[in-house]
């Protein structure tokens, strides 16, 4: 089969589920990953003949896309902060809005000279590893409830040759530590169970629910727990960063004020949604 024929087949099989531009992006991502062909290469060599092994792997990927498996899980990697991260269904796929949170943290570390960081709910390790990559002299620790997620995070840390201390911890249980940190950052589960019906199948059916959802009866569960932990384990004038559900910005601010944090700032993401908060102990 020729390359252009496979592209037409992709569009024919996926057109009922995805817009044309997204199918094109899938095609170019797969040809780049499996064939080493750039978008320009594909345009210059549309009649390139695909070998049996190449055709098999492309068709296998197409079959998974039809089932709405996220592309990042199919190829096993994604980009975050200009770094490549391994991902699997054990971890959430890092989002652009989380990159914005990390950018804010980086600016704050540079201005405050923070030396120690804790990432709570690290998943793939994208936050902790990005900070360790940018600040190799800082002491970075990352915790998560999932052993399988931590295995992915450790692979990513090794790949980027950074030092991060990983520990399997359920932050909702009593986390006994005497450590203090200059900065604590978290992108915790914040999607209410009732919001599931609004979500796309590629997220709902394939990404880990443990890292996504909180009960409707207690949507601030993690913010309350982590905020209380941070109030005890941040150094003087230490900083707390959260990614948040856009619906609960005012509620999280009120919670942090109750915990005696100050200089609380709420920021919008690139879509104009309330998405991240910084507070000072």
| Mean model confidence pLDDT for the chain | 95
d(CA 239, CA 230): 9
- The answer, yes or no, to whether residue 61 has pLDDT greater than 90, is yes
pLDDT band at 199 (very low <50, low <70, confident <90, very high): confident
- The answer, yes or no, to whether residue 206 has pLDDT greater than 90, is no
| Per-residue pLDDT reduced to its tens digit, 221-247 | 999 999 999 999 999 999 999 999 999
Percent of the chain with pLDDT over 70: 100
d(CA 71, CA 63): 11
| Per-residue pLDDT reduced to its tens digit, 91-146 | 999 999 999 999 999 999 999 989 999 999 999 999 999 999 999 999 999 999 99
Q: pTM above 0.85?
A: yes
pLDDT value at residue 198:
83
């Amino acid at each position: 089969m020729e390359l252009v024929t496979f592209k037409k087949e992709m569009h024919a099989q996926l057109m009922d589920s995805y817009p044309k531009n997204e199918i094109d992006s899938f095609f170019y991502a797969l040809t780049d990953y499996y064939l080493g062909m750039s978008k320009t290469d594909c345009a210059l060599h549309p009649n390139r003949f695909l070998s049996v092994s190449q055709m098999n792997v492309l068709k296998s990927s197409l079959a998974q896309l039809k089932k709405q498996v996220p592309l990042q899980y199919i190829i096993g990697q994604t980009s975050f902060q200009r770094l490549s991260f391994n991902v699997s269904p054990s971890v959430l796929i890092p989002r652009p809005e989380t990159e914005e949170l990390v950018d804010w943290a980086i600016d704050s570390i540079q201005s405050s000279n923070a030396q120690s960081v804790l990432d709570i709910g690290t998943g793939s390790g994208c936050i902790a590893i990005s900070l360790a990559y940018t600040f190799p002299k800082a002491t970075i620790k990352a915790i998560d409830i999932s052993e399988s997620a931590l295995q992915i995070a450790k692979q990513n840390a090794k790949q980027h040759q950074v030092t991060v201390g990983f520990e399997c911890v359920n932050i909702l249980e009593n986390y006994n530590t005497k450590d203090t940190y200059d900065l604590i950052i978290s992108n915790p589960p914040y999607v209410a169970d009732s919001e599931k019906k609004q979500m796309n199948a590629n997220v709902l059916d394939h990404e880990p629910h443990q890292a996504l959802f909180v009960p409707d009866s207690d949507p601030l569960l993690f913010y309350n727990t982590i905020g209380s932990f941070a109030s005890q384990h941040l150094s003087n004038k230490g900083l707390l960063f959260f990614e948040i559900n856009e619906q609960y910005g005012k509620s999280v601010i009120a919670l942090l004020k109750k915990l005696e944090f100050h200089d609380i700032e709420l920021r919008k993401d690139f879509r104009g949604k309330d998405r991240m908060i910084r507070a000072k102990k």
